[in-house]
Structure 1
Amino acid sequence: MMKIEWDKEYLKYSLYAFLTIAMAIMLYQILDNAGYFFENIFLRLGILKRILSPVIIGIFIAYLLNPGVRWFENYIYCRVEYIANKKKLLRVLSVVTMYLLVIGLIVTVIIFVAPQIGNNISDILRRMPEYINYSNDLINHWSEELDLRNLSNVTDQFENNVNDIFNRVSAILEYILENIIVSIMSITSGVLNFVLGIVISFYLLGDKESFKKGTERVLRATLADKTVNKMKDFGREADMIFSKFIIGKSLDSFIIAIMCLIGLQIMGIRYALLISVIIGITNMIPYFGPFIGAVPAVIITFFDSPVKAAWVLLFILGLQQFDGLILGPKILGDSVGLSPVWIIFSIIIGGGLFGLMGMFLGVPVIAIVRLLMNRLIDWRLEAKKQVKAHEGEES
């Protein structure tokens, strides 16, 4: 019987080639079906998000209102001896007072501010044909002044672009106005979730210590005490960064909006309230916000009076300088500890992924990620030092 001799080297390389081809085919199949896999996961996550949305809203509301509740507890009601000796009463009064302030502010905005903003937008839409004609006349006048009569194609193209811009702006304003009206007049599932979120946030604020203790017990039961202590320290630092930025930037933008409204009213600018709201909202975005808000403000004023538009531009630039040099540092300080490069990077990434909200929240999120990376590096270096010290003792 003939004995088969195997070339071990050849067999080894053949096995390597087979495994490589097999792994390549498996990887291709995984990537080819990854879309279905992730689509199914995102679908399940979407369903879970809809179910838990009242809880998520409640946690978010409680987190935003918690600093105000703490302030009323520590600086107002604790000075009343009868209330200070009763912890539950102290907490309930602080929570109720904070909710009454917020509800009062929302009602004031709905009654006094929202109708005026709606009227301003409606008036701009009504006057949009007038603005378009004014723009065309202005373009023709400039072309004649600059002796560009022979470049009629260029001016026609420019006029068409201007008309297209106004049509787009008009569509956007109509969309905003319709959605404001629909949001006010209709009761949707989002409103119901918001109401449930408010109820949940009330209980979270009223009994937040027990939730903290329960979470800490679970962590200590599953993790080492040293790890839990490090997680608590990181949580406190992250909370300080996030809450200080959110609350500080909101207060800063509110003050800027009020100052803008007063200044525009003194200057006699039409649509002063609408412009001030735009400036206040866009001011929430670091660095880019002032420029984003200045563009619609100047455009809106330009068609009423080009001279006033120039004054509005100078006023907004001066207001933003005051905010950046004086008001902002006083309120925010170095709340996030990021360099301008990282702030710009976070705004670009956040805006690209999540739009306007991402541009605002990108800064504190990147700051917290940076804090986490620094803490992980510190913990790793500390562990290495301990290992080296232990090895030195043994030697």
Structure 2
Amino acid sequence: MKYKHLFVKALIVGTILILVQTLFQNMNGLLSILSGLSKYLRPFIYAIFISILLNPMVEFIEKKLQFKRGMAIAISLVTLVVVITGTLIWFIPNLIDSFEDIINKYPAFQDNFNKYLEEIFTFLREKNLLFMNGEDIKQAIQNFFIKNMNNIRDILISVGLNVIDWIFEIFIILLGGFLALYFIYNREYFMQYIKNIIFIFYGEKEAEEGLDFLIECKNIFLNYMLGRIFISAIVGLIAFIVMKIAGVPYALLNAVMIGVGNMIPYFGSIIAGIIAFILVLLSNPIKCIYLLLAIIIAQNVDGYIIGPRILGKSVGISSFWIIASVIIMGNIMGTMGMFLGVPIFAIIKLIYVRVLKNKKEKLKIEEIQN
């Protein structure tokens, strides 16, 4: 047993050393491999994600309402489909109208931007506040704006035109959903299977501790994701109500961007706010005041009222590691990594704390024996 433990530790340490060496020698190659793995494992990633989110509803219906598991899964699935379908039926037509309006008004946006930019530079010249060649600066800003507005327009167009990609992604999600239902229906089998694997390499006690650890990881992930989804929905709804009352252009589109952006800590809200501000500025500048008011109200409700109550210390990592998790996982897995970075790093911290605790306990036992 002792040699088996040494072999497992040597294998883990060797794997980490190889990854670190590869990271320093060929960063792009390692990121490409990880990105490729995440691409091929997407159905299983979706399956784990869906099963973790759907399982609490299934357990509630199964245990509290006394339905059999198959029926509980069916009721949960129907409820989820009805909610998602109803939401999409309301959202999609309004979003399509906003997309079409933005694409049609794109030339007018460019004209408005050039006009505002010229007014700003005229003011700066009159006040002698230009320390460099004003025309070069203005041209650089115009080129930057045109490039990024073209990117935004291309994204909006691609959302509507890339039908094949969307169908393929929906197929992968449905496949993940099917696997998730299988995971939930046979969850005891999979839990016992994992426990047996840990038992083969370690022992009965370690198998129990390993299973408890996986359950704790699941709870961290579930609490964070459900909390973040709920909070982001509230943030988007508050922003939408304020903008709708104030008559802000593209209120629904901006609210969706603000809500989805809120799913990514720090960076998401900033990026979504900037894009929304540009759209409103070029359409109706005076309404930018109400947009900023909507964002401030929504973010304060998140930061001081519902955020601490719902999330609390569910992840238990500092602001530095939250930012690091978004950057690192975003580089590895793209947008999905930015969404999942925080719970992944929270689980890594949990592993670190457990290993450190076991190491200290082992040292204390050795000191007592000596």
8 Å CA contact retained: 2:95, 2:253: yes
Of structures 1 and 2, the one scoring higher in RCO (CA 8 A, sep 6+) is 2
Structure 1 CA distance, aligned partners of 2:166 and 2:229? 28
**Counterpart in the other structure of 1:69:** 58
Deviation of residue 359 (structure 1)? 2.6
Aligned equivalent of 2:151, options 171, 178, 198: 171
The 3-state SS of whatever aligns with 1:335 is: coil
Change (3 A) 1:302 1:54: closer
**Counterpart in the other structure of 1:329:** 308
Letter in 1 for 2:159: N
8 Å CA contact retained: 1:257, 1:279: yes
**Counterpart in the other structure of 2:326:** 347
Deviation of residue 360 (structure 1)? 2.6
Q: Is 2:176 aligned against 1:197? A: yes
Q: Is 2:248 aligned against 1:259? A: no
Give the alignment's TM-score, normalised by structure 2.
0.82
Structure 2: give runs of 5+ residues left out of the alignment.
1-20
Q: In the TM superposition, what are the counterparts of 1:143-162 in structure 2 within 5 Å? A: 143-148=121-126, 154-155=134-135, 157-159=137-139, 161-162=141-142
**Counterpart in the other structure of 1:319:** 298
Moved more, 344-353 or 118-127: 344-353
Moved more, 324-333 or 200-209: 200-209
What's the Cα RMSD here?
Answer: 3.0
Letter in 1 for 2:151: A
Aligned equivalent of 2:266, options 287, 303, 308: 287
**Counterpart in the other structure of 2:162:** 182
**Counterpart in the other structure of 1:305:** 284
Structure 2 CA distance, aligned partners of 1:340 and 1:184? 39
Q: In the TM superposition, what are the counterparts of 1:1-395 in structure 2 within 5 Å? A: 42=33, 46=36, 50=40, 53-75=42-64, 77-78=65-66, 83=67, 89=68, 91-148=69-126, 154-155=134-135, 157-159=137-139, 161-183=141-163, 187-188=167-168, 190-391=169-370
Letter in 1 for 2:98: N
Change (3 A) 1:137 1:295: same
The 3-state SS of whatever aligns with 2:264 is: coil
Structure 2 CA distance, aligned partners of 1:48 and 1:161? 37
**Counterpart in the other structure of 2:9:** none
Structure 2 CA distance, aligned partners of 1:202 and 1:241? 21
8 Å CA contact retained: 1:143, 1:149: no
Structure 2 CA distance, aligned partners of 1:297 and 1:49? 30
The 3-state SS of whatever aligns with 1:334 is: coil
Moved more, 96-105 or 119-128: 96-105
Structure 2 CA distance, aligned partners of 1:378 and 1:176? 50
Change (3 A) 1:201 1:233: closer
Deviation of residue 149 (structure 1)? 10
Structure 2 CA distance, aligned partners of 1:135 and 1:305? 12
Structure 2 CA distance, aligned partners of 1:372 and 1:318? 37
Change (3 A) 1:341 1:157: closer
Moved more, 151-160 or 318-327: 151-160
Change (3 A) 1:96 1:221: same
Structure 2 CA distance, aligned partners of 1:203 and 1:308? 50
Deviation of residue 255 (structure 1)? 1.4
Residue by residue over 1:98-150, the C-alpha shift from the partner in whole angstroms, topping out at 9 and shown as x without a partner, is: 21122123322432212321221221121111111112222222333344599
Structure 1 CA distance, aligned partners of 2:158 and 2:38? 30
8 Å CA contact retained: 1:58, 1:197: yes
Structure 1 CA distance, aligned partners of 2:276 and 2:45? 35
Structure 1: give runs of 5+ residues left out of the alignment.
1-29, 84-88
Give the alignment's TM-score, normalised by structure 1.
0.77
Deviation of residue 164 (structure 1)? 4.1
8 Å CA contact retained: 2:194, 2:211: no
Q: Percent identity at matched positions?
A: 31
Deviation of residue 374 (structure 1)? 1.0
Deviation of residue 247 (structure 1)? 1.0
Letter in 2 for 1:276: A
Corresponding residue pairs, total: 343
> Which protein has the larger Cα radius of gyration, Structure 1 or Structure 2?
1
Structure 1 CA distance, aligned partners of 2:360 and 2:127? 73
Structure 2 CA distance, aligned partners of 1:228 and 1:73? 27
Change (3 A) 1:309 1:208: same
Structure 1 CA distance, aligned partners of 2:123 and 2:157? 39
8 Å CA contact retained: 1:282, 1:292: yes
Residue by residue over 1:142-167, the C-alpha shift from the partner in whole angstroms, topping out at 9 and shown as x without a partner, is: 33334459979524641453254234
Structure 2 CA distance, aligned partners of 1:246 and 1:66? 13
Change (3 A) 1:178 1:155: same
8 Å CA contact retained: 2:244, 2:251: yes
Letter in 1 for 2:120: W
